[in-house]
Each structure stands twice: as C-alpha cells, then as structure tokens.
Chain A
Amino acid sequence: MGWFIKFIDSSIGKKIVMALTGLFLSIFLIAHLAGNLLLLAGDGGVKFEEYANFMAESGNIPVRIVEIALFILLIYHIINGIRITSINRKARNIKYKKVDASANSTFFSRFMIQSGGIIFIFLVIHLRSFFFPYRFSHPEITMYEAVKTAFENPLYSGFYVFAMVLLAFHLNHGVQSAFQTLGLYDKKITPIIKKTGTAFAIIICLAFAIIPLYFLMGMGE
C-alpha cells in the first residue's frame, strides 16, 4: 500500500484525487437537480414528497451506499483542496509587488479556493435546513413546506442564488480542469470540453437558482 499512498499524495496524485472526486460530485449535482425540479411541478409538493420519502427511507440500500460515498468523497475533496492550496501558497513566501494575472489566466481558475469556501458555507446551511432534519428525525411539516418557508425568506433565497453563482464559477474551471488532469487534452477535444464545462456550469446552477426564485415570487402553492 505504501506505493499507493505515495502516488495519491504526490503533487500529481493529489490533483487526480481532486479531479475524480470533483467529477463524481458534478454527477451528483445532476441527480440532485433532477429530483429538486419536482418542486416546480405545481402540484403542491405531492410528487416531490414521494421522491423525498423514497430517498430518505432507511431501507433504500443503494441510496444509502451512494449517500455515504458522497459524504466521504465530498470531505476528501474539501480537505484535499485545502491541503493543495496551503502547500501551493507556501511555495512563495515573498509575493510580487505587481502581478498582472488577468494577462495569462482566467479569474475562475484563480478563484477556486474562495468559491469552494463559499460553497462549503452554503452546504452547511443547506444540510442543516433540509438534509439532517428529514434524514434523521421526523419534523411536523413536510419537506415541501420546509422548502417553501425557507425560500420565501429573501435572505435565505438571496444567499442560495449567490452560492449558485459561486458554484457556477467553481464548475466553470473545475469540470474542464478535471478532464485535463485525468489526461484528456488535445487541440480538437479541449475546446469542446471547455465549452461543455461552461455550459454545464451555467445550466445546472441556473436551474438550481430558479427554485428559490420560484418560491420567493410566491408561485409555490
């Protein structure tokens, strides 16, 4: 096992772990969004409740396995990201007086730890509002009602939308960077991956952001 630890703990190995966990989390976003869009069904939350109960059921073994994997990979992604950033920052003690970073790199690529940090704060709030209460206890109101109440608060919705913008920033660099880290790079395919990554970031985050706005505008029953 020594060789494996050495591999995933090398500068390149850490980035490979970052790419694989990041792509897994991106796929999770698709599944999560698909479920959440049921909130917009306009049926007072009937379909959404069915889905939420199915997902929260203890007997649903496949979902429970994926749930545990998701948490482990998410935590690994966060800790690994913090470690990489801290090592990289320590590689230059004396900073430049003048840096013209926009001349050679995108803002998104330089903003990953900051966008990641805000997404983390969002996740803590998000999980406390919806996941933990409904997964581990039985609140009196339905999940649909909880979502509706939360999103009718402009502060809560505002922060949600803000976090989605930051998530889009994070994905815009992250998705294409992950493919590059895993070795998929050439003149033909890379421009396509970059455009697809940007489109993915915009579509996913826009779709997520529509949900709080829908309730904020009083369109939820």
Chain B
Amino acid sequence: MSNGKKMNLSLKIWRQADKNSAGEFKDYTVNNVSPDMSFLEMLDVLNEELIIKGEEPVAFDHDCREGICGSCSLYINGRPHGPKRGVTACQLHMRSFHDGQSIVIEPWRANAFPVVKDLIVDRSAFDRIITAGGFVSVNSGGAADANSILISKDDVEYALDASQCIGCGACVAVCKNSSASLFVGAKIAHLSRLPQGSPERHKRAINMIKQMDKEGFGSCTNTEACAAECPKEISMDVIVTMRKEYMKAIKEME
C-alpha cells in the first residue's frame, strides 16, 4: 500500500472544551501526510497547523509512543486503536489508510470513562479497581534468588501473558456493554496463579469485581470483541479465569 506518496486526508474529530461542555464533531483536512508517520504524528501535524492558525489544538492522550504505556485512546473509524489488530494508536501507521480517505476520530465512549477534553477520557475507574484488590499485600522484599520459589512454566507464562495488559481501556471502548471484564480478568489472572498472589485470590476477585460493578461498567456477554481489539492480544481466557475465581470465592462472600 505504501509507495511513499504523500496523502491528503479529511478528518472528523470530536471536540469538547471540558468535562461539562457539550461536544461536537469538527471537520479538518490534513495534507501531505507521509505514509510512514504514526497516527499520532499525523495528529501532531494537524495540531501544528491549528496552532499557526491560532486555533485550539486537538487534545489527545499520549506518552511513550511505542505501545507500552497504554495512554493513547483513540476510536478510529469505528474501532479502538484503528483498523489493525494488536497495535495501539501510536503504533498505527498512516500507510494503513489511503489518499483521500475520511477518518472519524472519537474518544472512548463509556459512562465510566468521562471525557476530560476532546479525545482525552478519565480512566481513573481502572485505578480504583486496582486499588480495590489488584495488588499483593505483603512486602515482597528485595529480588529473590533465582529458583528459590519454584513456579511451573505454565503458570509463569500464563501470568506473563495476562500481565501484558497496559490498561488502555480499548476493551471497554469496543464492548457493546462497556464491560471492563478483559481488564479486570487480566489483573486477576496475572496474580491468581503465582505463589505471591495466590493467597489473596478470593478476596481479590470479590473486591475487584465489586468495584468494577460500582464504577458502572456493563457485564460481559461473550461477544469477544475486547479480545479481538486488545492491542496486547489478551485472550478471552482471562475473563473465564475471572469468573472461575469469583465462583471459587463464593465461600468467602459475606
């Protein structure tokens, strides 16, 4: 697709001054976009033009720009992080689009993720879920000697796969129910099988799920859209693990 030719694009971007204002879509055009730019770099170009014109630049979240921080959160043409699988918006390149294409850019939409400004949403609901139980209570001290605690390879791999979650919220954004199950499942699956996390697994499941429900996220109906769109390709397996942990925790429920 990429032949190095510059592209002209028409963008439809959600603009909202602050949390309490009503927002609206505004049309923009960006010209001479290199196919080698990342999606965020394309927005940088747009913002430079807006600043020169004396207009308010488009606010969007970004930090590492290498797909590990989970900051970027753009709903691009009807999909979180755009049309490619397994990438964040910062890892998405303009070669995935074609000259003259129109692109709709929206913030994550969920009541639990209120818009702060333009394309930036408040994802502190995730922080409160982690505070409710996504941790290990004991001080784990300094780095332990290798192999002093034996963990099966399966368990390590399972925990590491789940630990790849960067908390970007694409799962909530894409879910028709705005369910946070993939995020919460990943955190529960990450800790439940490791010797450090296992002792608190039941309390953790109860408290994190209670907080998840309280934050106003919907429930999982197994459409599997979250796993399909997760930039870290976290599997549906973690949601099933979350349910199993919750079912096992029933005896500790009060």
Contacts and interface: CB of A to CB of B under 8 A. Distances in A.
Contacts of A92: 109-111, 178, 218
B78 A91 contact: no
Nearest to A173: B222
B174 interface: yes
A11 to B, nearest CB: 4
B250 A95 contact: no
Nearest to B212: A11
Contact of A93 (B83, B111, B213): B111
Contacts of A12: 209, 219-220, 242-243, 246
Interface stretch (A43-51, A100-108, A144-152): A100-108
A125 to B, nearest CB: 27
A112 interface: yes
A101 B237 contact: no
Given A11-B212, A16-B247, A100 B77 contact: yes
Interface string A145-182: 00000000000000000000000000001001100111
Contacts of A93: 111
Contacts of B222: 109, 173, 176-177, 180-181
Contacts of A3: 250, 253-254
Interface stretch (A82-90, A130-138, A209-217): A82-90
Given A180-B236, A185-B240, A186-B237, A96 B178 contact: no
The secondary-structure label for the interface of chain A is helix
Interface in A1-36: 2-3, 6-7, 10-12, 14-16
Given A96-B106, A97-B104, A106-B223, A88 B243 contact: no
B176 interface: yes
A181 B243 contact: yes
A11 B213 contact: yes
B211 to A, nearest CB: 11
Nearest to A13: B246
Which of B77, B176, B229 counts the most chain A CB atoms within 10 A?
A: B176
A126 interface: no
Given A10-B210, A97-B12, A87 B219 contact: yes
Contact of A88 (B174, B209, B219): B219
A99 interface: yes
A104 B112 CA distance: 22
A64 interface: no
A98 interface: yes
B75 A16 contact: no
Interface in A69-89: 84, 87-89
Contact of B25 (A10, A11, A97): A97
A2 B224 CA distance: 32
Interface of B: 12, 14, 25, 75, 77-79, 83, 104, 106, 109-112, 174, 176-179, 209-210, 212-213, 216-225, 228-229, 236-237, 240, 242-244, 246-247, 250, 253-254
Given A100-B79, A101-B78, A180-B236, 14 more contacts: A3-B250, A10-B210, A11-B209, A15-B219, A89-B177, A91-B110, A91-B216, A92-B218, A97-B104, A98-B104, A101-B225, A104-B223, A173-B222, A185-B237
Interface of A: 2-3, 6-7, 10-12, 14-16, 84, 87-101, 103-106, 109-110, 112, 173, 176-177, 180-186
Nearest 7 CB-CB pairs, A to B?
A100-B78, A88-B177, A88-B218, A11-B219, A104-B228, A91-B178, A91-B218
